[in-house]
Structure 1
Amino acid sequence: MSTTGERSTGTIYEQVQDSPEFADLRSRLRRFVFPMSAAFLLWYLAYVLLASYAPGFMSIKVIGNINVGLIIGLLQFVTTFAITTIYVRYANKYLDPAAERLRTQIESAT
């Protein structure tokens, strides 16, 4: 690090962290993760609240002994797998190529 008035460049990792490419990668990740996490948490909270405050609704039988509560509970698992699938596709298309370019940049500089 220079103290003679020149701009300090830091290590390659610090340079990459300060780069617009890294900021874009971080932004793309956050644009996906935060809304998806909020949506899933609201969906889960709705299930918990319905189970706590609407037991009559949750106990409505749909087919045989299968009730609304059971169906919504199982949909929680389906939602988890769907979010995972959507994230993998998103990462493959938008995150992984950008991360690979940054990794190549770091490896070529070291």
Structure 2
Amino acid sequence: MARFDHGESILFIAFEDGMPVGFTQLYPGFSSISLARTFILNDLYVDEHARRKGVAAKLMSAAVDFARALGAVRVSLSTATTNETAQTLYQSAGWKRDEQFLVYHIKLST
């Protein structure tokens, strides 16, 4: 709730027959190089019974349209290198895999 209360994320929910069947979440960012707003698409999920019906594509499209309406220059996402199903979906929706940059993480203990 803290993310929503502080405007730190935007949630898109897909419904089928009045029941939620999927969601995705956008997190705002800013590119100092582009001097423009960016978003990270995170947590794309569709219930198993609603998959292969275009729900994920519609959620992604709604998120991109929202970001575009706010003047964002980019929406980014990441997925596991082994998640070929998701990669196929993203590519079919016009997303391009980054061939220029590698992503690194450092795990922090809590």
Alignment TM-score, normalising by the size of structure 2: 0.27
Larger radius of gyration: 1
The structure whose RCO (Cα within 8 Å, separation 6+) is larger is 1
Name the one with the larger helix percent: 1
Alignment TM-score, normalising by the size of structure 1: 0.27
